[in-house]
Amino acid sequence: MTSVLFVTDAWRPQINGVMRTLEHTIQALERIGIRSEVLGPDGFTTLPCPTYPDIRLALTTRRRLSRMIAEADCAHVHIATEGPLGLLAGSARRRHGQTYTTSYHTRFPEYIAARAPVPVAPLYAWLRRFHNRGSGCMVATESLHSDLAGRGFRNLMRWPRGVDTDLFRPMAETGLFADLPRPIWLNVGRVAVEKNLPAFLGLDLPGTKVVVGDGPHLPQLRRRYPQTRFVGAKSGAELARHYAAADVFVFPSRTDTFGMVMLEALAAGLPVAAFPVMGPRDVIAHGRTGMLSEDLGAAALAARDLSRAECRTVAESRGWSACTEQFVQNLSRAEPATVA
């Protein structure tokens, strides 16, 4: 394979796991001589996503998107999201008898159910039909693979996630949090309802809770939890410093398929406290790199005693090169597309 086109509804200036996964994968592909192109919302007129205006939904037509895919002239098309661009790209490829692969990053049925009283079964039926029409659907973890297989998803392939251990690393001095009571309990990610942040922010813990990120739930949570330090979105070296300066990373989400922020925390030598659900179960070694419990407060307190050096050691085996090699292997062995 010499080239791949990524079609994604999640792209710059968004900051989320999908966008960051694609960025790291593209960089790793370039290092092994594979050209990458991206079709994202930044090239189209967009509208704000309902309930989440920071996410922009592209407005276009199948004909225009089909033409843009052809102009990219890539050997393979990978559809990363199930938004307007992903749906139209899949339709365009099928119309011309062309194959593509997909990936399942986000548990949209659960995300929607967190905002509105809707059943998840019809949403999964729709997602199943979309992904089964591709040549293969890539998932990050064994837990997600098992869950989707049980729901009738076919041609599932593992595509693990990695971490930049050069950027995210332990640091002796960061210059952060000197004015705050310790310990520092950190969370990084979108400040949105599906992240279940009140389960963290409502805990009775000593020290200071710090939240790094932005999102639609931020104003409400600032008012509700005035003792929490909300520092906004961070990236690059600045984000790495926040991880390194904290004592425990608390991950209260019950809906994430993976949670790349947990790997970034481990790379900085930061143990993790989380619920024993999909995502944390696949990333965290209980009692070694974090604590998993339905009592999140007890897990957070216990995680303080874990070895930061051990967290770093585990993260060092999770580089992006190996993840990208698996991605390329998946493209090469994708089965012929079938219709759900």
Domain segments of the chain as ranges: 3-162+320-333, 184-315
Q: Give 23-32 pLDDT, tens digit per residue.
A: 999 999 999 9
Q: Give 72-111 pLDDT, tens digit per residue.
A: 999 999 999 999 999 999 999 999 999 999 999 988 788 7
Could you give the angle at which helices 260-267 and 17-31 cross, rounded to 10 degrees?
70
Q: Give 253-267 pLDDT, tens digit per residue.
A: 999 999 999 999 999
Query: What does the pLDDT average to over 187-212?
Result: 97
How high is the pLDDT of residue 110? 83
Q: Give 111-155 pLDDT, tens digit per residue.
A: 777 777 888 899 999 999 999 999 999 999 999 999 999 999 999
Helices (H), 160-291: 198-201, 218-224, 236-245, 260-267, 280-283
145: its two tokens:
């693979």
How high is the pLDDT of residue 336? 56
pTM assigned to the model:
0.89
* DSSP structural state of residue 84: H
Domain covering 3-162+320-333 in this structure, CATH number: 3.40.50.2000
Helix (H, G, I), strand (E, B) or coil at 129: helix
pLDDT at 50 > cutoff 80: no
Q: Give 215-236 pLDDT, tens digit per residue.
A: 999 999 999 999 999 999 999 9
Q: Give 40-49 pLDDT, tens digit per residue.
A: 999 899 998 8
How high is the pLDDT of residue 53? 75
Buried b (16+ CB within 10 A) or exposed e, 295-318: ebbebbbbbeebebeebbebbeeb
Query: What does the pLDDT average to over 159-168?
Result: 96
Q: Give 272-326 pLDDT, tens digit per residue.
A: 999 999 999 999 999 999 999 999 999 999 999 999 999 999 999 999 999 999 9
Could you give the angle at which helices 260-267 and 236-245 cross, rounded to 10 degrees?
70
Q: In CATH terms, are 3-162+320-333 and 184-315 the same topology?
A: yes
pLDDT at 338 > cutoff 50: no
- The residues, any chain, with a CB within 8 Å of residue 228's CB and separated by 6 or more, are 201, 208, 209, 210, 211, 221, 222
Architecture of domain 184-315: 3-Layer(aba) Sandwich (3.40)
